[in-house]
Structure 1
Amino acid sequence: MLEHLKKEQINPSIIEEIKKYRQKYADTADTSQTSLRYLYYGKEIWEAAVHALLCGENLLLAGSKATGKNVLAENLARAFRRPCYNLSFHINMDASSMIGNDTFRNGEVVFRPGPIYQSAVDGGFCILDEINMARNEALAVLHSVLDFRRTIHIPGYDQIPVHPATRFIATMNYGYAGTRELNEALASRFVILQMPSITQDNLTRLLLREFPGIKKQFAEQFSGLFSDIEKKCESGELTEKVLDLRGLLDALRLIQNGLSPYPALDMGLTNKTFDAYEQTLIRDIITTRISKKTESTTIFS
């Protein structure tokens, strides 16, 4: 991961601070060598996020879809070489889902730790995904974990101090169905990083890494296609339903597997909206980038 940071031209002094952090908490480091599925591209965002975590802050990544919030969170955990725990929030989230609850084991009632507890004990990075999906009442249990107290109180068991290496990284989409305003008391416990949309150049780099067999000219065309759709969404001509980076990647996997480009793009992008006018507009955008005569074998070498 540090090699990736060097390629992103991250300030060398920041990389040295990460190395010092790794050495300081080497006894609890995550030594797994599994490769990350995606890498995050963006020098300014990388530097801001790393500075926040080095200062011991909790980090909230806010932004629209397809901005790489979860990718960056997982990349940060790998860069700092920490165990990573994921917690996806929903409307029925309660304290036991986050901290842990009682369960039976070998005829005895024992405590089964949740992601927050495990992160606090192991010195891990806990990713609080879509934190504004849960009710603010349920999130109150996090207050003592995220502020200067850095403790978890477990009724009937103990009060656990949070490991000094532990960091909490939350993500949120603002304005989505099912989301709500983040409580001020909770928001004040984070530094907030607004995530920008991926640039066309960085998306090309992502496609070339994810699909080693794709020809560069087509990687540029597909990243341009995504950029064109994004501009239409910004101007209000399309809804954000069709701005789906995961859908573009899915379409490319289908093409790589032999499906013709147009049916694949329909499945990955066009059909994400059920409005006939929007579908026609998306197909027109695709036509400007990808010829109807193009075959899957032309795109991948």
Structure 2
Amino acid sequence: MTSDIEQYRVQAEPYYQAQGREIALYEAAYRKRLPVMVKGPTGCGKSRFVEYMAWKLGKPLITVACNEDMTASDLVGRYLLEAGGTRWLDGPLTTAARIGAICYLDEIVEARQDTTVVIHPLTDHRRTLPLDKKGELIRAHPDFQLVISYNPGYQSLMKDLKQSTKQRFTAFDFDYPEAALETVILANETGLGEDMAGKLVKIAQTARNLKGHGLDEGISTRLMVYAALLIQDGIEATEACRMALVRPITDDPDIRETLDHAIDATFG
């Protein structure tokens, strides 16, 4: 069991720059083992925050990238057919509940609602996980905590969490940092000079202002990290920005022209 736990520990401190009191608030939620929901746009640091908190608390972290094809068995576990018969294999949620890990369900809104229902008994006073196929009821380890994230910008009638799920969690609202802080984050994350980092942030803010006016999502902090890494590898800044900041987020020729012009103006 020790080896099982160790493989899920965050070995090195992830770089994370707080925007407010989220670290202290999360620590309070963990002390009470309250489930946590982290909401915010793509690439704004939700997953990095959870990884950082797992490291800071010294707890193992099991992350599941949710998708529309994910079944309850993918989370809980299933029987495998082998030469000698069948063998039960725990899913990531079951493993986390057994060993006392933080289980992080990333972008949970992507999963089917009939799949997410399996987390309900773990998010109230019961803290249990029924394994119906196995006939076992798991009582969560005292250190177990459930954390979910999703992007409210993608909410729709078909893709949103049920109120019965939402109201089982405490919640944090995340957003992209204000410009000065995001510049510091980008410089620290990549080693890029703050002057150049500030220019990337300026371009990103131009794109974010277009959200809802031709863009579904703005340029994320993650994409700026990609651009910075390309620049550090010797790629010319305008090329790096087109490749990492503009081409991934839109195929609309007018939006591309607007953002390409902003890039040229910034580095002209």
State the secondary structure of the residue aligned to 1:139.
helix
What does residue 225 of structure 1 align with? 203
The reply to whether residue 289 of structure 1 matches residue 266 of structure 2 is yes
**1:228 and 1:48 mapped to 2: Cα distance?**
32
The reply to whether residue 186 of structure 1 matches residue 162 of structure 2 is no
TM-score by length of 2: 0.88
Question: Judging changes above 3 Å, is the alpha-carbon distance between structure 1 residues 270 and 183 closer, same or farther for their aligned structure 2 residues?
Answer: same
**1:114 and 1:267 mapped to 2: Cα distance?**
37
Q: Report if aligned partners of 1:132, 1:172 keep a CA contact under 8 Å in 2.
A: yes
TM-score by length of 1: 0.79
Question: Judging changes above 3 Å, is the alpha-carbon distance between structure 1 residues 48 and 118 closer, same or farther for their aligned structure 2 residues?
Answer: same
Offset of residue 168 of structure 1: 0.7
**1:279 and 1:108 mapped to 2: Cα distance?**
57
The reply to whether residue 259 of structure 1 matches residue 238 of structure 2 is no
Q: Report if aligned partners of 2:68, 2:111 keep a CA contact under 8 Å in 1.
A: yes
**2:8 and 2:70 mapped to 1: Cα distance?**
31
- Given candidates 180, 187, 193, the residue that maps to 1:201 is 180
- More divergent stretch after superposition (203-212 vs 56-65): 203-212
The reply to whether residue 268 of structure 1 matches residue 247 of structure 2 is no
Question: Judging changes above 3 Å, is the alpha-carbon distance between structure 1 residues 175 and 237 closer, same or farther for their aligned structure 2 residues?
Answer: closer
Show the 5 A alignment for 1:1-301: 34-36=11-13, 38-105=15-82, 107-155=84-132, 156-176=134-154, 180-212=159-191, 214-230=192-208, 232-233=209-210, 236-271=212-247, 272-291=249-268
Question: Judging changes above 3 Å, is the alpha-carbon distance between structure 1 residues 80 and 68 closer, same or farther for their aligned structure 2 residues?
Answer: same
Offset of residue 115 of structure 1: 0.8
Gapped runs of 5+ residues in structure 1?
Answer: 1-27, 292-301
Q: Report if aligned partners of 2:9, 2:59 keep a CA contact under 8 Å in 1.
A: no
Offset of residue 190 of structure 1: 0.6
Offset of residue 68 of structure 1: 1.2
**1:247 and 1:184 mapped to 2: Cα distance?**
32
Q: Report if aligned partners of 1:95, 1:138 keep a CA contact under 8 Å in 2.
A: yes
Offset of residue 83 of structure 1: 0.8
Offset of residue 245 of structure 1: 2.6
CA deviation profile, 1:229-288 (whole Å, cap 9, x unmatched): 32x225x44514442332222122111111111111111112131111111111222233
Larger RCO: Structure 1 or Structure 2 (Cα < 8 Å, ≥ 6 residues apart)? Answer: 2
**1:50 and 1:171 mapped to 2: Cα distance?**
17
Question: Judging changes above 3 Å, is the alpha-carbon distance between structure 1 residues 281 and 93 closer, same or farther for their aligned structure 2 residues?
Answer: same
State the secondary structure of the residue aligned to 1:141.
helix
Question: Judging changes above 3 Å, is the alpha-carbon distance between structure 1 residues 41 and 256 closer, same or farther for their aligned structure 2 residues?
Answer: same
Q: Report if aligned partners of 1:65, 1:173 keep a CA contact under 8 Å in 2.
A: yes
CA deviation profile, 1:55-87 (whole Å, cap 9, x unmatched): 221000112223211111111111111111011
Instruction: Give the counterpart letter for 2:16 in structure 1.
Output: L
What does residue 10 of structure 1 align with? none
Offset of residue 202 of structure 1: 2.2
How many percent of aligned residue pairs carry the same amino acid? Answer: 21
**1:167 and 1:35 mapped to 2: Cα distance?**
21
How many residue pairs end up in the alignment? 261
